[in-house]
Amino acid sequence: MRVKTRPGPITRTRIREINGSVARDRRDDLATEEPLEIRLTAPDGERRTVAITMRTPGHDFELAAGFLHGEGLVRPGGIAAIAYCTDEDLPPEARYNTVTVHIRGPIPDLPALDRHFLTSSACGVCGSASLDALHDRCSPIPDGTLRISPDLLYGLPEALRAAQGVFGKTGGLHAAGLFSAGGAPVAVREDVGRHNAVDKLVGWAALTDHLPLAEHVLMVSGRASYEIMQKALAAGVPVVCAVSAPSSLAVELAKEFGVTLVGFLRGERCNVYAGEHRLLMD
């Protein structure tokens, strides 16, 4: 095992920087990427590994809780405790890359567990393969009272960027941020995987009894993919904004489940792909 101590979000390395015809050696900071194994333990002692994902260390317990909630494996209130694994079968250097989630009931017998998730920081975890399957565990977002102005939207990308501490040092991380109806940042998380950043936010909400996030706006630093929309829907987020484009299935999900989806949010312009009724226009 390469990691000898608890991994952090930043890894230092030496590089050769070339600028024109001049070369110099210097230190550089990289975004850490390490595997995280998520294990479930039931009261009867049954244990199962449900996911192995590549992530940036930090907020690992939130990542595990958010992943389990987004995939419908654990309901709100169903987690009794989360801890790094101390099983004797793990070498000490691997223990901070393994999280055990103690649940209050039996381990669910779901196809997702039989599939045994294995994901990378690039591809994400799709979960349900279709919108029809998503209806089995997610309800449409109620219309509610949340209404936001374009001016509020225009300020979100910069507010998200200002909260990205690790990105400022490495330039290699995605971010996801939760904002209040007034545009104030509530929580921001970073990760090499955009879906992991969203899982960390959902996990924070699950572990602090903030679900559903009916009065919040989710802002992501990259594109709006199906897996991000799925996780936002499971958390009850009514408005999702992205710096880049959405995918076709993300737009279809937004329209079918009543989510406001905003893409290409840059400067003072954006595209609204679904749920335009939540925008306050003059």
pLDDT tens-place string over residues 148-191: 999 999 999 999 988 876 655 555 678 999 999 999 999 999 99
d(CA 103, CA 112): 17
Looking at residue 39, its amino acid is R
3-state SS string over the chain? Answer: CCCCCCCCCEEEEEEEEEECCEEEEEEEEEECCEEEEEEEECCCCCEEEEEEEEECCCCHHHHHHHHHHHCCCCCCCCEEEEEECCCCCCCHHHHHHEEEEEECCCCCCCHHHHHCEEECCCCCCCCCCCHHHHCCCCCCCCCCCCCECHHHHHCHHHHHHHCCHHHHHHCCCEEEEEECCCCCEEEEEEECCHHHHHHHHHHHHHHCCCCCCCCCEEEECCCECHHHHHHHHHCCCCEEEECCCECHHHHHHHHHHCCEEEEEEECCEEEEEECHHHECCC
Dihedral angle of Cα 43, 49, 50, 51, to the nearest 10 degrees: 140
Averaged confidence pLDDT in the chain: 86
Does residue 115 or residue 83 have the better pLDDT? 83
User: What confidence category does residue 120 fall into, taking pLDDT thresholds of 50, 70 and 90?
Assistant: very low
- Per-residue confidence (pLDDT) for residue 118, from 0 to 100: 47
Average pLDDT, integer, range 123-150: 78
- Quick count: other Cβ atoms within 10 Å of Cβ 268? 10
For 63-86, what is each residue's pLDDT tens digit? 999 999 998 899 888 999 999 987
Q: Is 48 annotated as a binding residue?
A: no
Q: Say whether 193 counts as a known binding-site residue.
A: no
Distance from the Cα of residue 218 to its chain's centroid: 10
**What is the mean pLDDT of the segment spanning 90-115?**
77
Q: Is 265 annotated as a binding residue?
A: yes
pLDDT in tens, 229-252: 999 999 999 999 999 999 999 999
- The CATH number of the structural domain formed by 34-130 is 3.10.20.10
Catalytic residue among 85, 123, 138, 241: 123
Q: What is the pLDDT of residues 260-271, one digit of tens each?
A: 999 999 999 999
Residue 123 is among the residues annotated as catalytic for this protein:
yes
Kindly report the pTM of this predicted structure.
0.86
What was the pLDDT predicted at 266?
93
- Tell me which of 163 and 23 has the higher pLDDT: 23
More confident residue, 35 or 171: 35
Cis (ω within 30 of 0) for the bond into 140?
no
CB-based contacts of 217, cutoff 8 Å, min separation 6: 148, 156, 178, 179, 180, 181, 183, 237, 238, 239, 240, 241
* pLDDT at res. 116: 44
pLDDT at res. 174: 87
CATH for 150-278?
3.40.140.10
pLDDT of 201 above 90:
yes
Q: Is 267 annotated as a binding residue?
A: yes
Tell me the two tokens of residue 165. Answer: 């501490």
**Residue 249 counted as an annotated binding residue:** no
Give the pLDDT score at 110.
59
- 268 in a labelled binding site: yes
**Domain ranges within the chain, ordered by starting residue:** 34-130, 150-278
Q: Please, which pLDDT band fits residue 115 given cuts at 50, 70 and 90?
A: very low
pLDDT given for residue 162 in this prediction: 87
* pLDDT score, position 54: 92
pLDDT surpasses 60 at 146: yes
Task: Give the pLDDT band (50/70/90) at residue 111.
Answer: low
For residues 109 and 219, the model is more confident at 219
